[in-house]
Amino acid sequence: MKTDDERLVALDKAHLWHPFTQMKEYRSGSPLIIERGEGVMLQDVQGRRYYDGFSSVWLNVHGHQAPELDQALRDQLERVAHTTLLGMANVPAIELAGKLAAISPKGLNKVFYSDSGATGVEIAIKMAFQYWRNRGDRRRTAFVTMDQAYHGDTIGAASVGAIPLYQEVYRPLLFPAHVVPYPNSYRHGGDEAAMEATLGALRRLLEERGEEIAACIVEPIVQGAGGMLVMPAGCLRRMAELCREHGVLLIADEVATGFGRTGAMFACDLEQVSPDLMVLGKGLTGGYLPVAATLATDEVYDAFDAEYEEQKTFFHGHSFTGNPLGCAVALASLRLMEERRMVEGIEAKAAFVARKLAPLKELRHVGDIRQQGLMVGIELVRDKASREPYAWADRIGVRATMRARELGMLTRPLGNVVVFMPPLCSSEEELDAMTDIVAASILDVTEGKEAERR
Ligand SMILES: *Cc1c(COP(=O)(O)O)cnc(C)c1O
């Protein structure tokens, strides 16, 4: 007789196809199967406990089984689980739209819901495109993105992505986009040179082709999947100004950076930038449920106002657009963030993490430690002096995060970058334990101590 755990492992390997996972390799290992979570801890079916050191892939805000969020979900469930927003409304979707309009950068007054960051980005792209059409401008059809950008995995979102590993296979299916360099200070000769390269390229592009460009999409302040790259101060603001000067819409993809993650409610707030469109996801529901939102200014929205016959309607929607359960939980999450003054508290937590991780800079294979709020990336390099990267086949990031798992913390790498993105609710004590594991796992794999210690 198989134990229940063995049965689950067999079923998982037989039927479940995991995202961003080489299944051949996955099937040859022993899968980690999570059964429950509480606070910043997750527990697997064998009862082993792990810190959620990446907020379950950048989502979680208040921890798992947060009583207030659980209660909000139960309360809404006693009313209705789902109704449509096509031509009608529901209570939590209205309340949340009002709340998002109130807390987002000025001008963003309209909220269009969907169910993931990628769909939120698709919507922003289609809105920007149709905004110009509806105004009678058929020239503005192109998009600008940044090198190493990540905006999600649907075809439209991938078209404005610029990570070759994720995009190349699908290239024939994607629409072309202009790509400007991302200001990678570590790789592009420091803050000033990196920023000048970005702004210079954007300026030239807009001067030459500005009138063909519908919108520019950017991950504000921190480029997540590209390797937790932090923009030099002032860069986002200058980019926004350049877009404005050339009449190009600015789309801020705050899917990863939104809801306190960077130390402000939204990363755009750090430089007082007000985009024309803003995409929210991940932390919107505290990381509980699949709700995303695309926020638009009145100016964008007004371009869709017309007589029925004119067909300027935004013909887009999803079955679960504005799901009441998700919206109710999002409202509870935002209420909790306010009550606990969580955004204000991030600075002190971030400073604690920075202090704890600082000694890692002395290690022979730690090239760069990048941090904005509770978003951290530690880039490992084969040679510190020349900044030579580890080879892909070294799998250094994978090894470091697997070591962290053995030591009791979950995270996923981005190539050679070890990601540390704890839930915003993490206490100093919990951050202390998690950063100890980050440090130990990096030391172990870069100094070749993995095998010894086992
Ligand atoms: C995760 C992410 C997305 C995609 O969100 P999904 O919910 O996974 O579709 C888009 N943009 C950014 C910046 C992200 O980090």
pTM over 0.95: yes
Q: Per residue in 133-159, is it b (16+ CB within 10 Å) or e — as a string?
A: ebeeeeebebbbbbbbbbbbbeebbbb
Q: Which atom of ligand 1 is nearest to the CA of 224?
A: 15
Q: Which of 307, 339, 371 is the last residue of a domain?
A: 339
Does residue 450 register a pLDDT over 90?
no
Q: Which of 308, 339, 370 is the last residue of a domain?
A: 339
Q: Which of 20, 54, 151, 222 to mutate to test the pocket of ligand 1 (most atoms within 8 A of CB)?
A: 151
The CATH number of whichever domain residue 78 belongs to comes to 3.40.640.10
Q: Which amino acids are annotated as binding site for substrate, given as ranges?
A: 150, 282, 317, 412
| Mean per-residue pLDDT of the chain | 97
Same-domain status, 320 and 410: no
Please report the pLDDT score of residue 2 as a whole number: 72
Does residue 324 register a pLDDT over 50?
yes
Structural contact between residues 382 and 357, judged by C-beta atoms closer than 8 angstroms? no
**pLDDT range class, residue 131, cuts 50, 70, 90:** very high
Q: Which of 339, 354, 383 is the last residue of a domain?
A: 339
Task: Establish whether residue 255 lines the binding site of ligand 1, counting it when its CB lies within 6 angstroms of any ligand atom.
Answer: yes
Does residue 353 register a pLDDT over 90?
yes
Does residue 237 register a pLDDT over 60?
yes
The alpha carbon of 191 and the centre of ligand 1 are apart by a number of angstroms equal to 26
Does residue 229 register a pLDDT over 50?
yes
Instruction: Identify whether 117 is part of a domain.
Output: yes
CA distance 254 to 24: 34
Number of structural domains (the chain) is: 2
Same-domain status, 306 and 357: no
Same-domain status, 307 and 404: no
Same-domain status, 53 and 144: no
The CATH number of whichever domain residue 372 belongs to comes to 3.90.1150.10
Q: Which of 56, 123, 150 to mutate to test the pocket of ligand 1 (most atoms within 8 A of CB)?
A: 150
The alpha carbon of 452 and the centre of ligand 1 are apart by a number of angstroms equal to 38
The parent domain of residue 411 ranges over 32-65+341-453
Instruction: Identify whether 307 is part of a domain.
Output: yes
Please report the pLDDT score of residue 451 as a whole number: 53
Instruction: Identify whether 288 is part of a domain.
Output: yes
**pLDDT range class, residue 1, cuts 50, 70, 90:** low
Class of residue 12 by CB neighbours under 10 A (exposed 0-12, middle 13-18, buried 19+): middle
The alpha carbon of 307 and the centre of ligand 1 are apart by a number of angstroms equal to 35
Helices (H), 104-168: 117-134, 155-159, 164-167
Instruction: Identify whether 259 is part of a domain.
Output: yes
Instruction: Identify whether 11 is part of a domain.
Output: no
For residues 141-161, give the mean pLDDT: 98
Task: Establish whether residue 322 lines the binding site of ligand 1, counting it when its CB lies within 6 angstroms of any ligand atom.
Answer: no
Tell me the per-residue pLDDT of 190-213, one tens digit each, with 9 for 90 and over. Answer: 999 999 999 999 999 999 999 999
Q: Tell me which residue has tokens 């929205």.
A: 301
The alpha carbon of 157 and the centre of ligand 1 are apart by a number of angstroms equal to 9
Triad 30, 56, 286: Cα angle to 5°: 155
**pLDDT range class, residue 277, cuts 50, 70, 90:** very high
**pLDDT range class, residue 454, cuts 50, 70, 90:** very low
Same-domain status, 57 and 107: no
Instruction: Identify whether 241 is part of a domain.
Output: yes
Please report the pLDDT score of residue 197 as a whole number: 98
Q: Which atom of ligand 1 is nearest to the CA of 116?
A: 7
Same-domain status, 331 and 405: no
Instruction: Identify whether 17 is part of a domain.
Output: no
Instruction: Identify whether 7 is part of a domain.
Output: no
Same-domain status, 302 and 393: no
